[in-house]
Chain A
Amino acid sequence: MADPARIKTELPKATANDEETRPEDTEGASTSGSASNETKDSADQLKPKEESKNESAAGDDDEEGTSGETAGKRLKVEPEKKKEKRQKVDEDEIQKMQVLVSSFSEEQLNRYEMYRRSAFPKAAIKRLIQSITGSSVSQNVVIAMSGISKVFAGEIVEEALDVCEKWGDTPPLQPKHMREAVRRLKSREQIPNTKHKNILFH
């Protein structure tokens, strides 16, 4: 899996050239921390560019309503301001994450590392999807599907932990918690189910 944490150590040159180097914290505390910084950083450099593209498209609508300003000038100034604001917000978030992760206990660090690093094996997912479609799928599809599946698993585990706490039990989670979590998510339609067709007029 293209684990950003691992890629960072493999390509020190590329990443150092691309992004401003953040001051290195102590090794132990922020292996995950700096990994998260790198990922946030790279995501954050691209996001503002995407956003500004959207802005300049939407800007056409905005500047119709304004009077007394050159259309071209307003179009140039607006995306810049929004981009700076967004970069600032992301930087704040990155700093907050840094502060948070640096204050983790050992157990919390372990859990956070597992949270970030665990992933479904790409080969197995690809095999599964291909066995269903019968034709080959692109790499992006596998990346997207494994990412969504991880979020899905997370939603179930979180709901199951809620159920467990509500019922006064303790982790580890038992199958009854999982089933109740699935039942709740189904009622919220967060679990796709195409087996049952609603016949409106019978």
Chain B
Amino acid sequence: MADEEDEAGFDEEPDDGSSGGLDAGGHGKRKRLFSKELRCMMYGFGDDQNPYTESVDILEDLVIEFITEMTHKAMSIGRQGRVQVEDIVFLIRKDPRKFARVKDLLTMNEELKRARKAFDEANYGS
């Protein structure tokens, strides 16, 4: 009984590990979007240099579910039907790690944009 909630999240993960299986339940047919990047990421986070394909698949499903949930939540707050940065920042406010990371990324992006603009103007002038 307690397994059901887990299984429901993983019904798109057939036991044989194939990603193209024609089973009736779930997203078994979807192509793997992040296989290569997730492998590098898992190695970076502490896993073995060659992680198991099944683990990578599970992680990809989790990430896609996470993004889907966040997108749906963001669409329901702030400006309805649209996803804006402020919504994401609001949703993430309770989680210190993610919040700090988003702030850093956005700040860094602004600075890079400014640096690129200054560089282009310097080039144009000379």
Contact = CB atoms under 8 A, between A and B. Distances in A.
Interface of A: 2, 4, 7, 11, 13-15, 17-18, 39, 42-43, 45-47, 50, 111-121, 124-125, 128-129, 132-133, 135, 137-138, 140-141, 143-145, 147-158, 160-161, 171-175, 177-179, 182-183, 190-196
Nearest to B89: A144
Contact of B69 (A150, A158, A194): A194
Contact of A148 (B42, B47, B59, B88): B88
A116 B34 CA distance: 17
B66 A39 contact: no
Contacts of A153: 38, 41-42, 45, 59, 62-63
A143 B58 contact: no
- Name A's interface SS: helix
Given A135-B82, A173-B47, A14 B118 contact: yes
Interface string B38-52: 101111111110111
A155 B66 CA distance: 12
A190 to B, nearest CB: 7
Interface residues of B, number: 65
A137 B63 CA distance: 19
Interface string B56-75: 00110011101111111101
A147 B102 contact: yes
Contacts of B64: 128
A-B CB proximity, top 9 nearest: A115-B44, A114-B44, A172-B48, A118-B40, A157-B45, A14-B119, A14-B115, A118-B41, A192-B69
Nearest to A189: B94
B51 A172 contact: yes
Interface of B: 5-6, 8-10, 13, 33-34, 37-38, 40-48, 50-52, 54-55, 58-59, 62-64, 66-73, 75, 81-85, 88-89, 92, 95, 97-98, 101-102, 104-112, 115-116, 118-119, 122
B119 A11 contact: yes
Given A128-B64, A182-B9, A174 B52 contact: yes
A50 B104 CA distance: 12
Nearest to A149: B63
A148 B68 contact: no
Contacts of B13: 175
B34 A46 contact: no
Residue among A115, A175, A196 with max Cβ neighbours from chain B (10 Å): A175
Contacts of A174: 52, 54-55
Residue among B9, B10, B41 with max Cβ neighbours from chain A (10 Å): B41
Given A118-B44, A179-B10, A157 B66 contact: no
Contact of B37 (A118, A137, A143): A118
Given A144-B102, A192-B73, A129 B67 contact: yes
